Amino acid sequence: MAETLRVAMIGYRFMGKAHSNAWRQAPHFFPLKAGVEMHTICGRDADAVEAARAQLGWQNACTDWRDVINSPDIDIVDITTPNDSHAEIAIAAAQAGKHVLCEKPLAMNVKQGERMVDAAKKAQIVNMICHNYRRIPAIAQAKKMIEEGALGRIYHYRARYAQDWPSDPKFPLVWRLQKGVSGSGAHGDINAHIIDLGRYLVGELYEVSGLLDTFVKERPIMDAGGKGQGLAAKSAQRTGRVTVDDASLFIGRFKNGALANLEATRFALGRKNHIELEINGSQGSLYFDFEDMNRLQFFDNTNPADRQGFRNILVTKGGIHPYFGSWWPEGHIIGYEHTFIHTVADFVNACVSGKSVQPTFEDGLMNQRVLEAVEKSARTRKWVKV
């Protein structure tokens, strides 16, 4: 093993947990070109971050990310904090010569995203945005099939990302519901994912027409020590105005002529983390449902007319299907956490080779440009070019 890459992760809640699992597991299941040392986990609450350190397997804990950014003992900075700190941390890490993995969305807006891309380019560091769903084997398989022409010319990309965690009006005003911390609501949080998948699978968007809405406009404010800032927080007494969207929809046209139809909502009761994609082309169609994430449905119009239909491809064949060779025998399925392990494995190997690994900060910035074009369209009720 040539070298060991020492990691500092900033943040320790939901994404911190998912990324910690990935840093721990990737070296055990993937042929990495370097070792990984889970050196330091960083968070503002000393007790909470120390508990996270012990639980998640980090060597050290610290309460100020600035202490680790310039440390000569750190090679990689992994940003899993809320959106409003991504730019400051990533730019400082890049300027310190660290490779950076940053959770999505890249930033609060395009301007911040441009500064992050510039800093990464100037520092010539390996930079990646954690759009983990690209590394679902079924999604990577879909990409391969589309590139091989299995669908022919693409006519439609239809995607929906639906959750329901804040649909109770008594759910408190957590950071994902505050524009000053999250930048936007369902739009930047989950529409960002299906925008990224559309750009990955179909191509760049040319113009969009959007609609954003907020269903619950006032929510209880958490008491200061409110635990569970994430998707399962408890309510409190005072109330505050919700400053982000609960749902965001848009239609659009890709540069290659395909049509886009995307919907992201946090008010689809019963949908907990439901991503659904359908891509229709001149030779066939693909359908994917994240609640059945090991399966890809494929309609092949070249089949003889008497036996056509959507067939289920179980994407679990090692050596044939992406990433699966590192896991189990065929049919033994994998889950949400594996998509982060795949992301980290590819990132580590890119850090060793010094090669770019998609999705980069540029991808994150392109996603940000689409997000902002949709928001502008919703404001002006006009079509907007990306």
Residues that bind ligand SOE (CB under 6 A): 14, 163, 189-190, 231, 273
Q: How far is the CB of 249 from ligand SOE (least distance, A)?
A: 16
Q: How far is the CB of 193 from ligand SOE (least distance, A)?
A: 6
Q: 118: how many CB neighbours lie within 10 A of its CB?
A: 14
Residue 17 CA neighbour count, 13 Å, CB half: 9
Q: Are 254 and 152 in contact (CB under 8 A)?
A: no
Cα 4 from Cα 196, distance rounded (Å): 31
Q: Are 346 and 129 in contact (CB under 8 A)?
A: no
Q: 218: how many CB neighbours lie within 10 A of its CB?
A: 11
Which of residues 145 and 365 has its CB atom nearest to ligand SOE in the complex? 365
Which of residues 39 and 342 has its CB atom nearest to ligand SOE in the complex? 342
Which of residues 123 and 293 has its CB atom nearest to ligand SOE in the complex? 293
Q: How far is the CB of 192 from ligand SOE (least distance, A)?
A: 8
Q: How far is the CB of 100 from ligand SOE (least distance, A)?
A: 18
DSSP state of 147: H
**Partner residues linked to 156 by β-bridges:** 259, 280
DSSP state of 246: S
Cα 243 from Cα 175, distance rounded (Å): 11
Cα 344 from Cα 341, distance rounded (Å): 5
Which of residues 37 and 189 has its CB atom nearest to ligand SOE in the complex? 189
Q: How far is the CB of 189 from ligand SOE (least distance, A)?
A: 5
Please report, for residues 158, 207, 377, the alpha-carbon distance to residue 385 in angstroms, rounded to integers and kept in the order given. 19, 4, 9
Which of residues 258 and 293 has its CB atom nearest to ligand SOE in the complex? 293
Cβ neighbours of residue 351 closer than 8 Å, sequence gap 6 or more = 5, 34, 75, 76, 99, 126
Q: How far is the CB of 14 from ligand SOE (least distance, A)?
A: 6
Q: How many residues does the chain have?
A: 386
Q: How far is the CB of 222 from ligand SOE (least distance, A)?
A: 17
**Dihedrals φ, ψ of 24, to 5°?**
-70, -40
Residue closest to ligand SOE (Cβ): 189
Q: How far is the CB of 219 from ligand SOE (least distance, A)?
A: 16
Q: Are 351 and 126 in contact (CB under 8 A)?
A: yes
Which of residues 13 and 39 has its CB atom nearest to ligand SOE in the complex? 13
Which of residues 6 and 135 has its CB atom nearest to ligand SOE in the complex? 135
Which of residues 261 and 273 has its CB atom nearest to ligand SOE in the complex? 273
